[in-house]
Structure 1
Amino acid sequence: MKMKHLKHLLIASTVTALCACNNTKESPVSLQWEMVKNGAAPGFYESSFTITNTSTKPLESDWEIYYTQLSPRQVKVNEDSPVIIEMINAGYYKIAPSESWTPLAPGDSIKISYLNQGIFTQTLFTPKSPFFVTNNGTQISIPLSIAPFDRKEQWTVQGRIAPSYPDGEKVYADNQALETTYKIQTYDMLPSLKEVTPREGTSIISKDISLSVEDGFADEAKLLIQNLKEMGYNVTDKGQTVIALCHFPQNMQAKNDEHYRLDVKDNYITISGGTPHAIFNGTQTLVSLLKKQTIPAKFENIAINDYPDLLYRGMMLDIARNFTKKADLLKLINQLAAYKINVLHFHFSDDEAWRLEIPGLEELTAIGSRRGFTEDESQRLYPVYYGGWNPNDTTATANGYYTREDFIEVLQYAAKRHITVIPEIESPGHARAAIKAMEARFNRLKGEDMEKAREYLLSESADTSK
C-alpha cells in the first residue's frame, strides 16, 4: 500500500454543497483520524485524516466528504495540499479535492495533516458521522476509525497533561476520594430522608397487599398499585399487609406541601400528608424501600418524617441537539418521580432543531426537526454532531419531533407524577432552527401574500453580520 504524507496550513472558507440524493451503496473510501499534538502552532492543534481508496476504481476528483466535529472552529491545511478542508457551519466540515489532487489508486492511502483551532482535551471531540458525496449527489456513509491515543503529546498542553483528560492517575485519585467505611443501612436512599426513628419489632410485607385510601388521594393510589404490581405484589381486599394513604391529623404541622410521614408498624404501613404531592412522595419512598428486597420484604418497625428543603428540584432535558422519543421521555419522567424531582425543564428548541409542533407554523418541524445533506437548508438543516446525511432516518437522534397530541400526553403524564414541565423557547440566541424554518415559510408564501409571509420572519435580508 502506497502512502502520501502532507503537512498543514491554508485558512478554510465556507462553501455550498451538492444536491441531496440518498443512497445505501458501499463507501468507496474509508477514513482514519489521528490526534497528533497540541500546540503545533499558536492557538492550534494538529491532527490528520488518512483516506483509503477501498473501491476497485481510481478515486478521481469528483467527490466530497463531510463530517461533524465538536470544538474546532478555524481549520488550516497547507497551500499545496491536494485537498481543502472547510467549515460550512459550526461543527460541520467538508473535505474536497483541490487543484493539485491526483487520482488515488485502488488500495492506496493518502494522509492529510491539518490544524484545528484550540486545544484537544477530550476523546469526545473526535470527528463523527462522515459521509461521501458523489458528483451526482449520492450520499454514502463512510467507515471511520480513530487512531489509538498512546503517545504523551496527544493529550498534553505545553508539556502538561490537559486538565480534563482522564488519565489513569487522575481517575485513581478521584476514586480514592469516594472511599468510605460507611455501611449502607436499610433506609438509606436518594434523596436522603430527613428523619428516621426506629421502633421495636419488625414487619413482614406480604405478597398480598390491601390499600386504604382517603378522599383526594385516588390518583396517587393508582400509581402505587401500578408500582406494586410491577414489583410482583398483588393488590387485593384481603391482603395480609395494609397500606393506608391518609391526611395528616389536625394537630400535625406540615413543613411544606411535600411533607409526609411514613410509619411501618406490625405489617401496617401508613403514609400521611397534607397534599396529594406529599402522599406521592411517601409512596415513592415506600417503593424505593421495597425494590431493595425480595418478596416478602422484611422491615424494622420505623417512623419516617420527610420533606424537601428545596421546592424546585429540576432537570433540563435537551431534545433539540439529540431527539428523545416519547416512550423514552415517559420512562425518564418515571425516574425523575422516583428521585422526587419535581420540574422537567424541556429544552426543545436550539440552533440544531425545533422539536415541537405548532399548528399553523408547519415549517418549524417540517424543516427544523430534520437534519441531513443539503445545499441551502430549504428542506432541512445542516448535519451537526453525530448528524449523518439522511434526514429521513428516524433511528437517528438528529431527526424527530413531538406532535401537539404527544406533548399534551407528556404534560398529563408528568402532572400525575407531580412534575411541572417548563417548555423553553430559546431566543434570541441559539434560534437558528427557527430562523431557517421561518425563512422557508417566507419563501413558500411570498408569492401569494407578502404580509403573511413576513409575519413570523426572524431574519432580515439587509443583515450582513457574520
Structure 2
Amino acid sequence: MAVLSLSCRGSQPKPSSDEAPQARTSLSLHWQPVDNLVGRGRFFHSTLTLENQGPEVLGDHGWKLYFSFSRRFLKDGEGNLARVQELEKQGIRISKADRAGSGDYHVLEPLAGFQPLLPGERRTFHLLANWQAILKTDAPAGFHVVFSGESSQRAIAVPLTVGFDVSDPKQTTRFGGDVLPVPTPELRYAENPAFQPLDLAARLLPAPRRVKEGSGRVTLRGNVTIVHVPALTGEAAYLASALRDVLAASITTARMDEGDARISLGLDATLDIDGDGARDAEGYTLEVKDGRVRIIGADAAGVFYGIQTLRQLVPTEAHASAVWPGGRHTEVSLPEVFISDAPGFAWRGMHLDVARHFQSKETIKKLLDVLAHFKINTFHFHLTDDEGWRLEVPGIPELTQYGARRGFAPAEAGMLHMAWGSGEGIEGGGPIRREGSPAWQGFEPELLNFAGQGSGFYTARDFEEILAYATERHINVIPEIDVPGHARAAVRAMEYRHRTLQDSDPEGASVYRLADPEDTSQHLSVQGYTDNFLNPCLESTYVFLDKVVRELKARYDAVPGARLVAIHGGGDELPSLSSNVWWQGSPQCKRNPATRDLSDVQLYNHFLTRWHRIITSTGARMTGWDDVLHHGLSLEGFIPMPWSNVWGWGREGDAYTYANQGYPVVLAHATNLYLDMANHKDPDEPGAVWAQFIDDRRVFEYRPFDVFANATEDSLGRPLAPSKWKDKERLSASGKKNVLGMQGLLWGENVKTPQVLEYLAFPRMLGVAERAWNPELPPVSELPALWGRYTNSLGQYVLPRLGVYRAVDVRGELPERLGVNYRIPLPGARRVEGRLDANVLFPGLALEYSTDAGATWSVYSGPVQVSGRVLLRTRASDGRYSRTTALE
C-alpha cells in the first residue's frame, strides 16, 4: 500500500541570529535489549520502537533510517530453536548503508508489505544481532532519516532513547556462565576501604621512593626568584607559570649566578637514587628546608618531575581558591621535606585513539599537561584507522580532504560514510537538546545522538604545536600509522585521489594507490570492514608509506628538542585465515615476481619487513602491536606491544615470551590497561566489555612482572585456578630487564567528547602512572593495605586537586584548561535495623542522601536512621556529583 511519506515539520520558530536552525523530524525511536541469553552467546534479542509523532502516514516506501551499530544483524531465518530473525515478516529490511557494504553503517527501510504507521502510532521491531548488549552505549547510534520524495535528499537527525531493566538477568547477563553481578550499594559498601589518616608520603602520586619529612614549613610569598642552570631555562619557565597560577606574588627566573633565590634548579649527571652506583635517568631530589626549595635532577626530565612533586606539596586549598578570579593566595606554605626519587620504568605511557572520534589540539594539550603532572613520559598517538586519517601530510591533500571527513555519504564520493554515530551533513545532528546540561558522569543520551567529531584533522602546524607542548613537558610522542589492516580511511582516500586525477594526471593518480581494483579477496574485520587492507604487492603502497614517514620526521625536525623515538606501525587484527582471504585474490600480487608465490601469511611478513625498513630509515625505532610477531617474523630492534592477553584466549604469556627472547617490550595488556573498557557491569557505565570490566583496583594492582597473579577470574567473573597457568612462560631474570614499561590505552569508539575522555581516563590513568613509576608490588597478602592507602590518597588529596587542576599554560595556548572530569564513584550503602551506613571508594569525598526522591539532600556524616527508599550520591570537592544510586 502506497501512502504519503512523512515529511519534516515545516513550522519552526525562527532561530536567533546566534543559533543555527535545528531541523526536526516527526519520528522518535526507543531501543531496548530484551534477551542476551537467547543466542547462548552468539546473538541477542533487542527491540526498536518507532513512533510517528507527525500528521502524515508513514508508508511502505519513500523513507530510510540510517544509523551506526557495531553489531552484525542476523539474516532472515538465522538464529536457533528459541528465536530466528524475521525482518521481512515485520515489513522491513536492514542492510549495510554504504555502497561498499563495509563497516558499522546500516539502513532500515520498509518493504512492500510494511503496514502503514498512522499518526500517533508506534511500532516495535524485534531484532537479532550478534554478540550481546549489556550497556547503554552498546545501542545503535546516530539515527537519521532520508525522505526520497523531497527535491534533494536531506538527512535529518532522529532522536533515540534507550532503556534497560537492571533487575532482568536476561538484559544484564551475557552467557549462562556469567556470574558477575551488577554493582549495588550493598556490594560497593562491602568493597570500599575505610578512612585512614595519611602521612606526607602517602599524599604524593606516584609515590616517591624515599620521603623524609621535617618538622617545619617553608613559606613562599612576596618576591620569589627561581634560579637555574642554563640547561633548565624551560623548566624554570614552566615552574614560574605553575606558581603564578596559585600564588599572588612576583615570580621571576634568573640564571644560577645572578643572585639569591627561594627556589633553585640544578643538575647532577651522577645522581644515583637507588645506590647501585649508576646514574638514575629521570631521577631527582627535592629539598624544602631553611626557607628554600632546591631541586636537583639527573637530567632535565628529573628536574621537571621534581617540579611536579613540588606542585603536589602546595596545599589543596591554594589550588581550589585559585579557581576564582582574585582567589590566589598571597602566600603558600610548604612542609619541610627531603625526597629522593626515580622511576621504575623508562616507558610510562598513555595511548589515545583520535581516529574514531577526533579530539582538538587544545584537548590533547590539556591532557598532556595532566599526564606530565603524574610523570607520564610517553604519548602514543593513534592517528589513523578505518574511520579517519587525522594528520595532514603535505603533498597528499586527499588524506585529509577525504580521509579526515565522514558524514551522510552512502556512495562515499567525497568523504567516508558515517561511523560510530557521528559525522557531518546531518540536519539537527548536534547533540540533542534537553533541559539542563549533561553531567558526563556515565551514560548520557548525547552519546547516542550525534555527540563526537567524526571529521577533523591536525594540520602540520597543529601537530608541531602538540610536539612542542609535549617536548616542553618531557613527553615523547609516538605517532601510529596503523597498517596493513585498519587502513580504510587511507585506502578510500587514495581511491578518491585516483578518481579525481586519472584523467588529468594518470601518473599522479596512481603514485600513492593502496588497493588493487581487481582484487577479489574477501575478508571481514572484527569491526565489520571488508575493504580496509593495504595491498602489500603494489610498489605504490611503499611509496605512500615512505612519504608519510618522511613528512612525520619533518614535523619532528621542525620542533627544537622533539625526538622521534619510535613510529608505531600497527599490524593488528587481520581476520582469521580460516574464514578469510587477505590478498590471494589480487591479480597484482600474482603479477609481481616478488610476491606471486607467497601465501597470505608470507605476504603479511613481506609487508612488515619493508614497513620496518621504511620506519627505521628515519632513525626511529619501529614499535607495533604484538600481532606483528604472530607469524614467525623477526625484526631487529622491534618493540612489541602485547595486548591480547584476555584470560582464556591463549596469549596470556606472550609478553614474557617476547621479553625472554630479547625483544624490548611495552606492556599494553587489555585485561588491566584498556581504559576504554567499562568500569563496572552497570548499564550506565560507558565503554566496551569484550576484555574485562576494568575498575581502579584492577589497574592499580596490575603486576607487570607477574600478570598471572592478576588472572584470578575471567571476564564473566568465574574463578580461575592458578594451575591453569602452570604451562605458561614466566619472565626470566634477563627478560625482566627487557620490559621497557607499560601504558594505559584509550580506544576512541565511545570517546565522543573531551569530558568522556577524561571520565574514562581518570582516575584509572593514575593507577597506570603509579604502577609505571613503581612496578614492584609486595606479596598479594599485603595488597589490601596498599590499596587502602592509595584510595585514601585519591579521596583526600589527589582528586580534590585534580578537580580544580589548571594546566600550566606558559604561552597562553589553552582557551579552557581548568578541572578534569574524573569519574566520581557511586556511594556504597547498607541498611542495618533502619540505620543507613554509607561509604565511598575514595574516602574523603563527601556523601549525600535523600529520603524524598531527590527533592532535598542531606550531607551524610555518619550512621543515620532512615525509612523507605533512599537515594545516595557522591559529591566531589569541585561541586560535581556522581550518578545517583538507590537503596531500596
| Distance change in 2, residues 1:115/1:302 (3 Å) | same
TM alignment of 1:161-240, pairs within 5 A: 161=178, 163=180, 167-169=182-184, 173=187, 176-180=190-194, 182-187=196-201, 188-206=203-221, 208-236=223-251
TM alignment of 1:7-406, pairs within 5 A: 24-41=22-39, 43-60=42-59, 61-72=61-72, 74=74, 76=76, 77-78=85-86, 79-88=88-97, 89-135=102-148, 136=150, 137-150=153-166, 151-159=168-176, 161=178, 163=180, 167-169=182-184, 173=187, 176-180=190-194, 182-187=196-201, 188-206=203-221, 208-236=223-251, 242-248=262-268, 255-294=279-318, 295=329, 296-388=331-423, 390=425, 396-406=452-462
Structure 1 moving runs of 4+ over 6 Å? 237-241, 249-254, 391-395
Q: Please say which of residues 139-148 and 302-311 is displaced more in the overlay.
A: 139-148
Task: Establish whether residue 440 from structure 1 lines up as the match of residue 496 from structure 2.
Answer: yes
User: SS of the residue aligned with 2:309?
Assistant: helix
| Cα distance in 1 for residues equivalent to 2:269 and 2:126 | 75
Q: Please say which of residues 388-397 and 31-40 is displaced more in the overlay.
A: 388-397
| Distance change in 2, residues 1:433/1:74 (3 Å) | farther
Post-superposition shift, 1:54? 1.4
User: SS of the residue aligned with 1:375?
Assistant: coil
What one-letter code is carried by the residue in structure 1 that aligns with 2:144?
F
What one-letter code is carried by the residue in structure 2 that aligns with 1:408?
E
* Matched-pair identity in %: 31
User: SS of the residue aligned with 1:40?
Assistant: coil
TM alignment of 1:415-426, pairs within 5 A: 415-426=471-482
Post-superposition shift, 1:93? 1.5
Contact persistence 1:364–1:434 (CA under 8 A): yes
What one-letter code is carried by the residue in structure 1 that aligns with 2:363?
D
| Distance change in 2, residues 1:102/1:200 (3 Å) | closer
Post-superposition shift, 1:382? 1.3
Post-superposition shift, 1:430? 0.2
- Please state which structure has a larger fraction of its residues in strand: 1
Contact persistence 1:370–1:380 (CA under 8 A): yes
| Distance change in 2, residues 1:134/1:217 (3 Å) | same
| Cα distance in 1 for residues equivalent to 2:387 and 2:271 | 54
User: SS of the residue aligned with 2:306?
Assistant: helix
Post-superposition shift, 1:396? 3.8
Contact persistence 2:227–2:261 (CA under 8 A): no
What one-letter code is carried by the residue in structure 1 that aligns with 2:462?
D
Q: Please say which of residues 448-457 and 58-67 is displaced more in the overlay.
A: 448-457
Contact persistence 1:24–1:140 (CA under 8 A): no
Post-superposition shift, 1:158? 4.9
Contact persistence 1:139–1:389 (CA under 8 A): no
Post-superposition shift, 1:272? 0.8
Post-superposition shift, 1:413? 1.1
User: SS of the residue aligned with 2:347?
Assistant: coil
What one-letter code is carried by the residue in structure 1 that aligns with 2:475?
I
| Distance change in 2, residues 1:290/1:376 (3 Å) | same
| Cα distance in 2 for residues equivalent to 1:311 and 1:62 | 60
What one-letter code is carried by the residue in structure 2 that aligns with 1:205?
L
User: SS of the residue aligned with 2:89?
Assistant: coil
| Distance change in 2, residues 1:312/1:233 (3 Å) | farther
Q: Please say which of residues 399-408 and 73-82 is displaced more in the overlay.
A: 73-82
Q: In structure 2, list runs of 5 or more residues that go unmatched.
A: 1-20, 77-84, 254-258, 319-328, 431-450, 523-888
Contact persistence 2:267–2:300 (CA under 8 A): no
Q: Please say which of residues 253-262 and 129-138 is displaced more in the overlay.
A: 253-262
Post-superposition shift, 1:277? 1.1
CA deviation string 1:65-86 (max 9, x = no partner):
0111234454554132211112
CA deviation string 1:54-103 (max 9, x = no partner):
11111122000011123445455413221111234332211000121132
Post-superposition shift, 1:421? 0.6
| Distance change in 2, residues 1:44/1:225 (3 Å) | same
Number of aligned residue pairs: give it: 441
Post-superposition shift, 1:181? 5.0
Partner of 2:464: 408
CA-based RMSD of the aligned residues comes to 2.6
What one-letter code is carried by the residue in structure 2 that aligns with 1:369?
A
| Length-normalised TM-score, structure 1 | 0.88
| Cα distance in 2 for residues equivalent to 1:103 and 1:353 | 39
Contact persistence 2:270–2:278 (CA under 8 A): no
Post-superposition shift, 1:123? 2.5
Contact persistence 1:315–1:343 (CA under 8 A): yes
Partner of 1:9: none
Q: Please say which of residues 55-64 and 285-294 is displaced more in the overlay.
A: 285-294
User: SS of the residue aligned with 1:94?
Assistant: strand
| Cα distance in 2 for residues equivalent to 1:276 and 1:233 | 27
What one-letter code is carried by the residue in structure 2 that aligns with 1:45?
F
User: SS of the residue aligned with 1:105?
Assistant: coil
Q: Please say which of residues 143-152 and 438-447 is displaced more in the overlay.
A: 143-152
Contact persistence 2:271–2:284 (CA under 8 A): no
Post-superposition shift, 1:320? 0.4
| Cα distance in 2 for residues equivalent to 1:387 and 1:233 | 44
CA deviation string 1:376-420 (max 9, x = no partner):
212111111121452798984211100011111111111111111
Contact persistence 2:155–2:426 (CA under 8 A): no
| Distance change in 2, residues 1:371/1:251 (3 Å) | closer
User: SS of the residue aligned with 1:408?
Assistant: helix
Post-superposition shift, 1:215? 2.2
| Distance change in 2, residues 1:359/1:172 (3 Å) | farther
User: SS of the residue aligned with 2:90?
Assistant: coil
| Distance change in 2, residues 1:214/1:240 (3 Å) | closer
| Cα distance in 2 for residues equivalent to 1:36 and 1:300 | 58
- Please state which structure has a larger fraction of its residues in helix: 2
Contact persistence 1:312–1:342 (CA under 8 A): yes
